[in-house]
Amino acid sequence: MRDRLQDWVPRIVLAPSFAAVLLFVYGFILYTGWLSMTNSRMLPNNDFIGLANYVKLFGLKHWNIALVNLAIFGTLYILISSVLGLFLAILLDQQIRNEGFIRTVYLYPMAISFIVTGVAWKWFLDPGIGLQNTMHKWGWESFEFTWIKDSDMAIYTIVIAAIWQSSGYVMAMFLAGLRGVDNEIIKAAQVDGASGVLIYRRIIIPMMRPVFLSAFVVLTHLAIKSYDLVVAMTGGGPGRATEMPATFMYSYTFTRNQMGVGASSAIIMLVMIFSIIIPYLYSEIRAGADRR
């Protein structure tokens, strides 16, 4: 009457999922890594060419535009979303009537597809029918807003739409953080004579450090992966003005038949994300283990 078989049931149950993740995630990463060092074009092949694709990639103007765009987009998106999110959270934390309704409104964009967001903003910012046209109708004839058609400014329209979509999410993260602040600390500060603004600046906001970190990681990861919104709003255009690494990878791999280069750009994206996510997860899991 030994129960050895029972001991193995849990591992057998977990095995298919783990095998799937090993193959479809880590196996695929290795395979893409390998492809990035071959001269695969329309179809994968195994002609090893070392790091030539990476050299080529960083020589491509197209890729460098994508990187610059990612830098502009990422910086503004992360910065403004965080500041706006924190600002809204603080406003909402003042015992607001109808707080539930307001929160629901701030957060609903997270529930909808980037494609839908893209369509809405694409036409709203369209000079012909959207905001500019409306302002003209309202009598402000000199109003001009043609960013979405302007190669220099189009990337900023994507920033606008992306912030609209995610700032409510950041707000919810900060609000949860603010609600976790021990009330007695605030009371102690008030007894010390600190004003509301001072309490926020000197005590509460510094306590939000872990939330800033989480928000930063989540937003960075979203920024590097952004694909849908660009496709829906500008398709990477005008010209290549809003090309991002994600759209670059897709077009080089599937429409320009440069699979090797596409694979190498995917690897660079992975490296960018992992260099932020891995230290973060490591510290989170460590902290979690310490708490237990």
Binding to other proteins (CB under 8 A) within 237-276 occurs at 246, 249-250, 253-254, 259, 262-263, 265-267, 269-270, 273-274
Applying CB under 8 A, the span of 61-69, 74-82, 143-151, 284-292 interacting with other proteins comes to 284-292
CB closer to other proteins, 155 vs 261: 261
Does residue 207 touch other proteins according to CB under 8 A? Answer: no
Applying CB under 8 A, the span of 31-39, 51-59, 68-76, 147-155 interacting with other proteins comes to 31-39
Does residue 143 touch other proteins according to CB under 8 A? Answer: no
Among 47, 137, 193, 255, binds other proteins (CB under 8 A): 137
Distance between CA 286 and CA 290 in Å, rounded?
6
Does residue 151 touch other proteins according to CB under 8 A? Answer: no
DSSP state of 256: S
Asked if 11 contacts 4 with a C-beta cutoff of 8 angstroms, the reply is no
* CA-based nearest residue to 277, from 203, 225, 208, 206: 225
Distance between CA 95 and CA 92 in Å, rounded?
7
Does residue 193 touch other proteins according to CB under 8 A? Answer: no
**Nearest distance, CB of residue 140 and other proteins, angstroms:** 12
Among 56, 62, 228, 256, binds other proteins (CB under 8 A): 228
> Rounded to the nearest 5°, which phi and psi values hold at 45?
-135, 175
Torsion of CA 26, 32, 36, 42, to 10 degrees: 180
Site string for other proteins, 85-114 (x = CB under 8 A): ---x--xxxxxx--xx-xxxxxxxxxxxxx
Distance between CA 242 and CA 157 in Å, rounded?
10
Applying CB under 8 A, the span of 48-56, 71-79, 146-154, 166-174 interacting with other proteins comes to 166-174
What is the distance between the terminal CA atoms of the chain, rounded to a whole angstrom?
36
**Nearest distance, CB of residue 290 and other proteins, angstroms:** 10
Which residues fall within 8 angstroms of residue 44, CB to CB, at 6 or more apart? 35, 38, 259
Tokens 């599937």 found at: 254
Bridge-partner residues for 257, per DSSP? Answer: none
User: Please, which of residues 54-83 interact with other proteins by CB under 8 A?
Assistant: none
Among 120, 153, 205, 207, binds other proteins (CB under 8 A): 120
Here the tokens at position 82 are: 């965080």
Among 154, 232, 241, 261, binds other proteins (CB under 8 A): 232
Among 56, 79, 133, 150, binds other proteins (CB under 8 A): 133
DSSP state of 111: G
